[in-house]
Amino acid sequence: MSFINDNNSQQNDSQNRQIKLASRPNGAPNFDNFAWETSEISKPKDNEMLLRTVYLSLDPYMRGRMSAAKSYAESLAIGDVMLGAAVCQVVDSNLDGFESGDLVVANAGWQDYSISDGTGVVKLDKNMANPSYGLGVLGMPGFTGYMGLTDIGKPKKGETLVVAAATGPVGATVGQVGKHLGLHVVGVAGGAEKCAFAKNELGFDDCLDHTSENFAKALATACPNGIDIYYENVGGKVFDAVLPLLNAHARIPVCGLISQYNATSLPDAPDRLGLLMATILKQRLTIKGFIIFEEYGEHFPEFLATMSDWVESGIVKTKEHITDGLQNAPQAFFDMLSGDNFGKTVVKVADVQ
């Protein structure tokens, strides 16, 4: 479903189309939470550049920023342009090191044009075959998966790794890097198609459908030696099934909890906090949450060089879920949060020129 009619669906050089936060969601977001506006295209001042959005990244963390609840980053204010990383092309530059035509990744948000002073901007190869990869496997999600696994997970050859959302951009990176490092990798995904992709295309040893009635039993069968690393980005019943299988000194990097982002209260269930705390103590677990660029930003060049080589050589593969048109960003966002995407969710806003 489109957010607007098709009369204003194409990017042009005379106005800036923007999608703003109109209201805060109560539970799952809907179209009423967004506002479509147009404005004049700003001109860059000294030490600034004008960017034109080509690809927009949609990521689960955006749901948290729509809320007023306290978190690791400041919430969006009502009326703000929805935030998000984007692959952009430089239109006009008064900034050293950037010139018209350059491709960059910047925090441009859900809009056609943005002004940047270069802070946090990463320049891409103008000739790269898939610029959108800068938002996925070669961007924040891939970086999150790589650093969470290698630094917090501390993998050792022969160990068992379980990763949820196995075909998403983070989970797919985690699983493939884990295989490359000699781990036994078990993925968790929603549906037979995604599980088949994780095994047949990404090379996971196994992948289990979390919607199946016997999921917990199947996970135990797939991990006969227990679980040494659980990469957490989902939460909910997946973690419930993982908890009793965790080995002594297991490591749990936590980068997200997508199953809970739309929750308005705690689930109706027995209190499992005591069980969790007892397991942490008895199994001497390491559980660490992290925000990727806050803690690992200086490692991005190293990651990008390594992952670029792995992608080029085929060690790491990627799948994208691309939606055409800025006006379709809200629906693509809803689909991602409900698991109706398959791969890294990207909105194609315009062509590279």
pLDDT tens digits for range 301-312? 999 999 999 999
Q: What is the C-alpha to C-alpha distance for residues 86 and 41, in angstroms, rounded to an integer?
A: 17
Q: What is the pLDDT of residue 5?
A: 57
Q: What is the pLDDT of residue 339?
A: 83
Average pLDDT over residues 67-91: 91
Ramachandran angles phi, psi of 277, nearest 5°? -65, -40
Average pLDDT over residues 210-234: 94
**CB 209, CB 191: distance < 8 Å:** yes
Domains of the chain (ranges; CATH) run 6-136+319-348 (3.90.180.10), 140-293 (3.40.50.720)
Q: What is the pLDDT of residue 11?
A: 85
Bridge partners of residue 90, in order along the sequence: 51
Q: What is the pLDDT of residue 123?
A: 92
Q: What is the pLDDT of residue 258?
A: 60
**Strand bridging mode 122-124 / 86-93:** unpaired
**CB 188, CB 258: distance < 8 Å:** no
Collapsing DSSP states into helix, strand and coil, what is residue 100?
Answer: coil
Average pLDDT over residues 141-158: 96
**CB 264, CB 160: distance < 8 Å:** no
**CB 129, CB 311: distance < 8 Å:** no
Residues in CB range of 71: below 8 A, 6 or more apart? 64, 65
Cα radius of gyration rounded to whole Å, the chain: 21
Ramachandran angles phi, psi of 269, nearest 5°? -165, 165
pLDDT tens per residue, range 300-343: 999 999 999 999 999 999 999 999 999 999 999 999 998 888 88
Q: What is the pLDDT of residue 237?
A: 83
Bridge partners of residue 323, in order along the sequence: 347
Ramachandran angles phi, psi of 32, nearest 5°? -65, -20
User: For the packed helices 169-180 and 300-313, what is the interaxial angle rounded to 10 degrees?
Assistant: 80
Q: What is the C-alpha to C-alpha distance for residues 339 and 341, in angstroms, rounded to an integer?
A: 5
Query: Which residue has better confidence, 234 or 259?
Result: 234
Say how many CA atoms lie within 13 Å of 200 toward its Cβ: 6
Classify residue 100 by burial, with Cβ atoms within 10 Å: 0-12, 13-18, 19+: exposed
User: Residue 210 pLDDT > 80, yes or no?
Assistant: yes
Q: What is the C-alpha to C-alpha distance for residues 74 and 161, in angstroms, rounded to an integer?
A: 33
Q: How confident is the model at residue 12 (pLDDT cuts 50, 70, 90)?
A: confident
Q: What is the pLDDT of residue 78?
A: 96
Q: How confident is the model at residue 8 (pLDDT cuts 50, 70, 90)?
A: low
pLDDT tens per residue, range 290-303: 989 889 999 999 99
pLDDT tens per residue, range 33-56: 999 999 999 999 999 999 999 999
Of the listed ranges 5-14, 99-108, 269-278, the least confidently predicted one is 5-14
Average pLDDT of every residue of the chain: 91
As a whole-number percent, the residues of the chain with pLDDT over 70 amount to 93
User: Residue 114 pLDDT > 90, yes or no?
Assistant: yes
User: Residue 263 pLDDT > 70, yes or no?
Assistant: no
